């Protein structure tokens, strides 16, 4: 498939925003249990504002993927059958929960209220992870995406990036929680790395269910396409193949494998709770997420490409 940067930015930005909110709520729950000292309200307010900014940026990026942005509201109409429609509904609902969560902490309305709102936001956050991932995982004809590893990796990668982002925020506003957040970010990053490696291993073992022979109904041991069948390009030749060489795709894979966990893990391990270094760790990881999401989209081999092998 051809990776669209609007989709890449949408999924990575909202994933980081979701992970950041989960980090905020996790710290609040642990603090309420008496395990950690309660951070000041600035940690939660600044975190909610940052999470909301990431979610809004992702939502804005999604509009560039629409042919008619003024009709975006119609995308929610098929919520009974479409994961995309469900995502369109859940995303603004989650943004509303994050906003209220930040306002409650700003007004210091009470720990019990913020915990209940945080719980509701967590449910919406998890639902958003499922909806976003199932947009791809539900497509049975794209074997690379049609696996339970897709929603698992969306959740783990998004959560890991959010916890990594929470560490410099804590270093600035709640130093007592930065070390715990860094440990959690390392653990989640390791799980996300293992999950992504599992998906790569699975996809490497896939075998196409269709061949040129079954596609065109010709039983012959050797079939070679010499031309695409028409003079110019088309939607099919532009949208269902990335147009990059195998070497380029392989290079992107090695880039994201280095950046989504090993590089930020080294920085986190030796940052000594320095906010600048912790921010660098997130920047490295987010760059890796951009590469990972590009590879995720490019890796999917649409069956229609059987008809356009002279191009793809």
Tokens of 244: 């990059």
Per-residue pLDDT at 58 exceeds 90: yes
C-alpha triplet 171, 117, 43: angle, nearest 5°: 15
Q: Could you tell me the sign of the dihedral formed by the alpha carbons of 134, 136, 141, 145, in that order?
A: negative
pLDDT of residue 229: 65
What tens digit of pLDDT does each residue of 101-153 get? 999 999 998 889 999 999 999 999 999 999 999 999 999 989 999 999 999 99
**What integer is the mean pLDDT of 25-42?**
93
Q: Model confidence over 6-23: pLDDT tens digits?
A: 999 999 999 999 999 999
Say whether domain 5-308 belongs to CATH 3.50.50.60: no
Looking at residue 210, its pLDDT comes to 79
Could you state, in order of their start, the residue ranges of all structural domains in the chain?
5-308
Cβ neighbours of residue 175 closer than 8 Å, sequence gap 6 or more: 273
């Amino acid at each position: 498939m051809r990776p669209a940067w609007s989709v890449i930015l949408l999924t990575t930005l909202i994933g980081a925003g979701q992970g950041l909110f989960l980090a905020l709520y996790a710290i609040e729950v642990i603090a309420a249990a008496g395990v950690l000292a309660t951070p000041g309200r600035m940690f939660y307010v600044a975190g909610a504002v940052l999470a909301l900014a990431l979610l809004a940026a992702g939502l804005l990026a999604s509009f560039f993927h629409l042919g008619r942005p003024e009709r975006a509201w119609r995308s929610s109409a098929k919520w009974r059958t479409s994961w995309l429609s469900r995502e369109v509904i859940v995303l603004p609902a989650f943004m509303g929960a994050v906003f209220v969560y930040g306002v409650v902490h700003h007004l210091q309305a009470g720990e019990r209220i913020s915990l209940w709102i945080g719980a509701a936001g967590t449910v919406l956050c998890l639902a958003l992870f499922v909806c976003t991932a199932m947009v791809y995982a539900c497509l049975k004809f794209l074997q690379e995406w049609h696996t339970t590893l897709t929603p698992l990796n969306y959740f783990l990668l998004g959560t890991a990036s959010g916890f990594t982002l929470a560490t410099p925020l804590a270093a600035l506003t709640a130093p007592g929680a930065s070390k715990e957040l860094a440990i959690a970010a390392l653990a989640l990053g390791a799980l996300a790395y293992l999950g992504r490696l599992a998906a790569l291993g699975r996809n490497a073992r896939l075998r196409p269910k269709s061949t040129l022979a079954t596609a065109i109904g010709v039983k012959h041991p050797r079939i070679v396409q010499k031309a695409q069948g028409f003079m110019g390009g088309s939607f099919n030749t532009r949208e269902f193949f990335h147009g990059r060489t195998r070497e380029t795709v392989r290079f992107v894979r090695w880039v994201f494998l280095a950046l989504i966990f090993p590089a930020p893990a080294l920085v986190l391990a030796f940052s000594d709770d320095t906010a600048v270094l912790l921010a660098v760790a997130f920047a490295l990881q987010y760059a890796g997420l951009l590469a990972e999401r590009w590879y995720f989209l490019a890796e999917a081999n649409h069956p229609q490409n059987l008809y356009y092998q002279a191009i793809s």
